[in-house]
Amino acid sequence: MHLVLFDIDGTLIHIKKGISQSIFASVLNDTLGIQMDSRIHIDFAGRTDFGIITSIFKTLNLDQQLFLDNKDIIYQKINEEFKSQLVQSDIQVLDGVVELLDILHRDDRFKIGLVTGNFELNAHTKLEIAKLIDYFDFGAYGDNFPNRLDLPKTALNNAKALYPDVSSKKTIVVGDTHRDIQSAQHNKMKSMAVATGNTPYYELLKFEPDLIFSSLEEYLDVYKSILNIFDING
C-alpha cells in the first residue's frame, strides 16, 4: 500500500483572495481585542494555522500563552466565520484535481490523505464546500504544529492505524510550496511539487522535489509519474 498525501490550499483549491486574512484578523479582534496593524502581513503559504497565529503574537509582542489559553475558541470562531462567509463560488477546485483523486481513489494500491496547515475543522469545512471531503479518511493538520515538518510523520502514523503496511518509503507528499517539499524530505518521503500556488515553478525546482508539475491538469501524466517513482506497474 502506498500513500499520497495532499496539501489543500494552492494544491487542491484556491480560495477567493483576501477572505482568509480578513477572517483571521476579525476573529482575533473580536475574541481578544487584537488590532492588526501595518506591521502584520499574514503569509499563509505552506504554513500552519498554529504557526501563523503565534507569529502574529510574536510580531505584536503579545504573550503566547494568551493564544494557547484561547486556541480552541479562536479556531471555533474562525471556522464559524468560514462556514458563514464561504460559498462554493469562493472556492476554485484546480484543474485535474478531481480526476487525479478519482484515479487514485479507484486504485487499490493507493490511499490518499491530507497534510495541511489548516486546523482540522477548517480543513474539513473547505473540502466539504469544494465537494472533495469524501476522498480523504486520514491526515495531519495544523492545529498544534508550529511548522509543517512533523505533519507527514503524523499523517503516516494515523494511516498506519488503518493500513498497517504503509511506510515512509511508500509515501509521497504533494504540495505547492518549498515547505511541502522540505517536510517530505525531512521524513524521508517522496515529494511532488505543483506550481499552482504563489511559488513559481523555477523556485520550487531549487528545492529538488522528486517530481514537479506546472499543474495537475495533465492528471494522467501525474498519475503515471507517481506509479513510476514507486516502480509500480501501470
Q: What is the DSSP string of 30-44?
A: HHH-PPP-TT-----
Residue 44: the pLDDT is 61
Q: Which three cell numbers stand for residue 109?
A: 494500491
Fold of the domain built from segment(s) 2-15+91-229 = Rossmann fold (3.40.50)
Strand partners, 4: 112, 172
pLDDT digits (tens, 9 = 90+) for 208-231: 999 999 999 999 999 999 999 998
Q: In angstroms, rounded to a whole number, what is the distance separating the alpha carbons of residues 110 and 2?
A: 5
Burial of 17 per CB tally in 10 Å (0-12, 13-18, 19+): exposed
Fold of the domain built from segment(s) 19-88 = DNA polymerase; domain 1 (1.10.150)
Q: In angstroms, rounded to a whole number, what is the distance separating the alpha carbons of residues 55 and 99?
A: 37
Q: In angstroms, rounded to a whole number, what is the distance separating the alpha carbons of residues 233 and 230?
A: 9
Q: Where are the domains of the chain?
A: 2-15+91-229, 19-88
Please report which confidence band the pLDDT of residue 234 belongs to, taking 50, 70 and 90 as the band edges. Answer: low
CB atoms within 10 A of CB 14: 16
Residue 138: the pLDDT is 95
Does position 62 have pLDDT exceeding 90, yes or no? no
pLDDT digits (tens, 9 = 90+) for 132-158: 999 998 999 999 888 889 999 999 999
